[in-house]
Amino acid sequence: MIKYLGSKRGLLPQILRAVGAAAGDRAVVADLFSGSARVSHALKAAGWRVLANDELPFAQTLACGLVQADAERWGARADRLLAELSHLPPASGWFTATYAETARYLHPVNAARLEAMREAIERLDPEPELRAILLTALIQAADRVDSCAGHQMSFMRELAPRAMKPLLLRRPELLPRPAAGPCLALAEDAVSLAGAIECDVAYLDPPYDQHVYLSNYHMWETLVRWDRPDTYGRAQKRTDCRTRRSAFNTRAGIGPAFARLVTGLRARTLVVSYGAEGFLARAELERMLAGRGFLHVLEVPHRRYAGTRLGIHNARGEKVGTPGPDGTMERLYVASDRRLDLPRNQDYRMVHEAAEAAGALDTQQAADALAVQQVADAGRCTAIAAGPSATA
């Protein structure tokens, strides 16, 4: 799995326990901001049927390669093709010039090998799931030998030691199809998608602040789209980084977007990751979620990403800001139409439950919250209505 800002790698046990308390064996679980696909992958491994979604095409490709594609269907062909790609000679062109010479995210030889492999995939034009597996393998291989601090807004002054290692392709961590049914990866705006799907549990992990994921991972977007975009600045970002923005990245936009998402989703349970330092105030988020019925809030201490811990550096690699604190608090909000039996142990602390929500609710709101809203109509929700860009 790739390095990804906001990855919930460290919170997987808590997320899986929260989903497990709400989801039966054959449940459909939607991960509407799937990012690195780490959470969706763990949900699939746990046996649920997963609908992964992220508005960025490279993230959808990761989810298609790691979650939608099943090991038994593609494993052997993927191994054969990855072995062939590994033996291609380097072919330096615009990708190498942009990302390994003008900017220096990769060693030029690794970039030229990547470029040769990516061109070969374009010529092969494989089925969408196989293409996603191959592209995921390329992204993972490049991520292991990159020369930046976990994002592509800047790069090291001198190539990092890991960037001197040869690029090695490995088969992505494919999983067998869950008994619950096939998984799906989409690239939609989560708010627009919310009304078009039904699921048992929806996991929501939107951006918390102004950091735009397209800008942070513009090279992955280019590697997937292979569209030779115009670029700008020292970081060589795609020019569409200036225009493609998420409502969740602005103080004014996040509240209304979250509210539409929470009211629009047809799911009995929502599990929401949200950091203590996000744009949206805790009380506002709790007010929205309490309307779904019972609300549990869990606090989990979380180590910050390396960039914040190291401090801010300018383009010459000089430290110009002081490091931030090592840790922050991640919160996991579990809102359901019924009281869930959430496990309590030392890393999974129950802060409050149901309508007693942290004094944020007045008496009438508390009474409303207790009057359990029936979110999904009778019975289990198993149908997935795929959006227009679903890949077969």
Classified as helix, coil or strand, 167 is coil
The helix (run of H) or strand (run of E) holding residue 310 is helix 306-310
Q: Which is nearer to ligand SAM, 110 or 215 (CB)?
A: 215
Answer yes or no whether residue 7 interacts with ligand SAM by CB under 6 A.
yes
Answer yes or no whether residue 248 interacts with ligand SAM by CB under 6 A.
yes
Q: Which is nearer to ligand SAM, 20 or 108 (CB)?
A: 20
Answer yes or no whether residue 33 interacts with ligand SAM by CB under 6 A.
yes
Binding residues for ligand SAM, total number by CB under 6 A? 23
x/- string (CB under 6 A) for ligand SAM, residues 150-189?
---------------------------------------x
Q: Output the smallest distance, CB 123 to ligand SAM, in A.
A: 29
DSSP per position, 218-243: HHHHHHHH-----EETTTTEEGGGGT
Strand segments, DSSP code E, in 285-355 are: 294-303, 327-336, 349-352
Q: Dmax of the chain from CA atoms?
A: 70
Q: Output the smallest distance, CB 344 to ligand SAM, in A.
A: 24
Tokens 């019972």 belong to which residue? 294
At 366, the amino acid letter reads A
Mention every residue, 6+ apart, whose C-beta is less than 8 A from residue 206: 33, 190, 246, 248, 254, 257, 258, 274
Residues 213-242 binding ligand SAM (CB under 6 A) are 213
- Considering only the stretches 113-121, 203-211, 231-239, 376-384, report the one whose residues sit in contact with ligand SAM under the rule CB under 6 A: 203-211
Answer yes or no whether residue 246 interacts with ligand SAM by CB under 6 A.
yes
Mention every residue, 6+ apart, whose C-beta is less than 8 A from residue 346: none
Answer yes or no whether residue 95 interacts with ligand SAM by CB under 6 A.
no
Q: How far apart are CA 338 and CA 356, in angstroms?
A: 15
Phi, psi at residue 78, to the nearest 5°? -65, -45
Q: How far apart are CA 322 and CA 308, in angstroms?
A: 9
Q: Which is nearer to ligand SAM, 81 or 199 (CB)?
A: 199
Answer yes or no whether residue 205 interacts with ligand SAM by CB under 6 A.
yes
Which of 150, 172, 178, 206 lies at the binding interface for ligand SAM (CB under 6 A)?
A: 206
Chain contacts with ligand SAM (rule: CB under 6 A): 4, 6-8, 33-36, 38-39, 54-56, 59, 189-191, 205-207, 213, 246, 248
